[in-house]
Amino acid sequence: MLKKIILILTIAVFINKIYGQTRIDVLPGIESCSPTISIDGNTMYFTSNQKGNFRIYEVCKNDSGKWGTPKDIEEINNFSELAKIKDPFLSYDGKRLYFSANFSNSLGGMDIYYSVLENDKWSTPVNIGQPINSAKDETSPSVSINNKYLYFSQKNEDADIDNCGTIYVSGKRNGKWSSPDALPKIINHGCETSPKINFDDRSLIFASIRGDEKEDFDLYYSRILAKGLFGEPQNINFINTINQEYAPTLISSGKFIYYTIGTEKKGNIISNAIYKAKVPDNFIPFKQIKVVGKIINLKNNPVTADIIVTNVNTSDIIINKKNDSKNGKYVLYLTEGYNYKVEVIKKGFSYYSFSVNSKDEQYNEEITKDIKLYSNVNLILNVFDAEIFEPLDCKIVITDEDSTIIKSKIINPDKGRYNIDFSIGEKYSITVQSKNYNTNYINLDFSNIVQYSEFERDIELNPIKIFVEINILNDSTNAGLDAEIVITNLDKNEIIVKKVSKNKDGKYVVELREGDKYEINVNGPKGFSFYNKKVDMNSEKKTKKLDVRLKPLTAKTKIKLNNITFETNSADLNLSSNNEIERVVKFLKNNTEIKIEIQAHTDDVGSKIYNKKLSEKRAQSVVNYLIDKAIVNERLVAKGYGESMPLLPNDSEENRAKNRRVELKIVDVKNN
């Protein structure tokens, strides 16, 4: 037996040299045990009897990487006088500290409690309650990285060995812990304690007494193969000795393990000390990818949001946490071998998500992902005419779900283009109105997922139309005529060409836009005059009926030419006259058998001789235009009548304007 002990000690010394097993004297000369390490490895919580009873202490690494001076966590330790506190466990998000204690409000002996980190202070301890705690002793709590599973040990009342218990697990459903189940016999050999679910959520370390020659706890390691299915536990022989090893914890890299060794001394007093050792590869949990960053708004101020991490392979939510409210920073640890979806959600802010493929070799052990969330969305709204696609000035009214008008910031940089600012988190209705157009609407829903800070939307407005009846008749017989109607919108870039066939009553209906001015030209069949008229659909007396009587072409036919004007006291044609003269050109080319006289007339302002000469010059200007358009000179006669043939008395400016005119008279029709 002595030789065997010597051999074991020799092997232990050899292994310790390889794996660098060292004692951590955070409180030199004082019992310290049950370490729990933050996932970044920089903060440790442990228990010690420095003040006569076991209390929880916090210690952080200094700039040189060494442990500093421990701090008593008074918020927890002073909750219940002379209580025993043990087995602390820091949740992987660093927000909760679980532990065992026999406080005055426990359900039996030792119960499981937790405290929440709020404003850098730990809250008053909370008893986790039933169905976890009972009249028995519940100790050694450990919570999975996704906060969904709680592992703990319950003392076996009939056991002769102190701390000998059974390991249980409870799942969280709808925010409550379910009735715990004992782990299978491959784990619960008969005397177990100190379960620690590792950060990879796929391996478990625990203390157990197993084997014929074992009289004290050793540490064991088991892979979780599937839910409720564990691999054969492996003895962590690189640290186990003839002494008691318990309360293990791994840092995030998995390369170092912290644990407690209890040494038997005189009077059967157990002295506890914290140790650290390097972990060989076959015991290292699955590699963790560290994702870090900060969540801020567009002004670079921190935004507190929910971070939800889903395992894409299993659809399980493995992390549901918030980032730091003070600086916006967050840290995620993701087990290699899976694809993850990371969602960032904050009510009243935009939605953000990104993927992490931990199988991809491009990922290192740390990824930095800074996230900007915005609380407002800018809509670029383009308003245009539904028929001719021209931009429109309009009035925009925005209301919420309760039909309350919202005074959003609206900028109009260009005609028909509007920048509108909306707050995320609401539903809106946009009413777009423009004079002489039918109102249109857009509904926007920013109450759910919003993944953009700016987007563009087009909206069409349909013009209000007025039906106009056009009657095209033979002036001699009142019969309907074939004709071509050309309608030009003088306010917009729109031309309507409609060819109509004669019918019994000669009635045709066209739709004209309300509010616009039009020029209506009717080109009759060969042998008939043409027609031209301007109509104003913006006036109070809107044109709704137009009688067009086309005259058969005879030697006595006279046609008034509209819209032919000249510079004041000049024979120079205004550019606005070109359209009407072009109609004369087309008329003459369609009726080659006629000869015409261009007649010019003036009002009575000025002398008769002057007006006669001015009218002659003006008539000749029109003829010259026609000649330039390939109408032969022999078919054209220019004649000026001055003020001799007024249509109306020259007793008002309105009448004088009507007397200043140009007419076309047919002087000869050759028979073909």
Are residues 431 and 525 located together in one domain of the fold? no
Nearest to 429 by CA among 456, 462, 401: 401
Alpha carbons 52 and 82: distance in angstroms, whole number? 9
Are residues 52 and 158 located together in one domain of the fold? yes
What CATH number did the domain enclosing 576 receive? 3.30.1330.60
Residue 443 lies in a domain: yes
Residue 11 lies in a domain: no
The pLDDT value given to residue 65: 86
Q: How is residue 78 annotated by DSSP?
A: T
| Residue where a domain stops, chosen among 283, 308, 337 | 283
Q: How is residue 626 annotated by DSSP?
A: H
Are residues 562 and 539 located together in one domain of the fold? no
Are residues 276 and 136 located together in one domain of the fold? yes
- What's the Cα-to-Cα distance from 338 to each of 199, 200, 289, 309, 335, rounded to whole Å? 15, 11, 11, 12, 7
Residue 2 lies in a domain: no
Per DSSP (E only), the strands in 132-243 are: 138-143, 149-155, 165-173, 176-177, 181-182, 192-197, 203-208, 218-226, 229-230, 234-235
Q: What percent of the chain has pLDDT over 90?
A: 53
Tens-place pLDDT, residues 430-465: 999 999 999 999 999 988 888 888 889 999 999 999
Tens-place pLDDT, residues 234-253: 999 888 888 889 999 987 66
Report whether 618 contacts 640 (CB < 8 A). yes
Residue 382 lies in a domain: yes
What CATH number did the domain enclosing 58 receive? 2.120.10.30
The pLDDT value given to residue 20: 63
| Residue where a domain stops, chosen among 505, 530, 552 | 552
Sequence-distant (6+) residues with CB within 8 A of 227 are none
Q: What residues form DSSP beta bridges with 111?
A: 101
What CATH number did the domain enclosing 412 receive? 2.60.40
Residue 191 lies in a domain: yes
| Residue where a domain stops, chosen among 236, 255, 283 | 283
Q: How many CB atoms lie under 10 A from the CB of residue 161? A: 14
Are residues 529 and 611 located together in one domain of the fold? no
Q: How many CA atoms lie within 13 A of 616 on its CB side?
A: 6
Tens-place pLDDT, residues 370-393: 999 999 999 999 999 998 889 999
Are residues 608 and 498 located together in one domain of the fold? no
Residue 404 lies in a domain: yes
Tens-place pLDDT, residues 506-528: 678 888 999 999 989 898 888 89
Alpha carbons 82 and 484: distance in angstroms, whole number? 108
Are residues 381 and 529 located together in one domain of the fold? no
Q: In what order do the strands lie in the sheet with 71-72?
A: 32-37, 43-48, 55-60, 71-72
Alpha helices in 236-367 (DSSP H): none
Are residues 297 and 415 located together in one domain of the fold? no
What CATH number did the domain enclosing 522 receive? 2.60.40.10
Model-wide pTM > 0.85:
no
Are residues 667 and 574 located together in one domain of the fold? yes
Are residues 188 and 122 located together in one domain of the fold? yes
Report whether 383 contacts 416 (CB < 8 A). yes
Number of H helices, E strands in the chain: 5, 49
Residue 7 lies in a domain: no
Tens-place pLDDT, residues 126-147: 999 999 999 999 999 999 988 8
Tens-place pLDDT, residues 627-659: 999 999 999 999 999 999 999 999 999 999 999
Tens-place pLDDT, residues 176-191: 999 999 999 999 998 9
Residue 1 lies in a domain: no
425 has a pLDDT exceeding 50: yes
Whole-number average pLDDT of the chain:
87
Are residues 317 and 270 located together in one domain of the fold? no
Residue range 605-614: mean pLDDT, rounded: 94
Are residues 483 and 506 located together in one domain of the fold? yes
| Joined tokens for residue 240 | 């186990």
For residue 184, cis peptide bond before it (omega within 30 degrees of 0): no
Question: What type of residue sits at position 274?
Answer: I
> Which domain covers residue 468, as residue numbers?
464-552
Number of domains in the chain: 5
Nearest to 36 by CA among 65, 59, 54, 63: 59
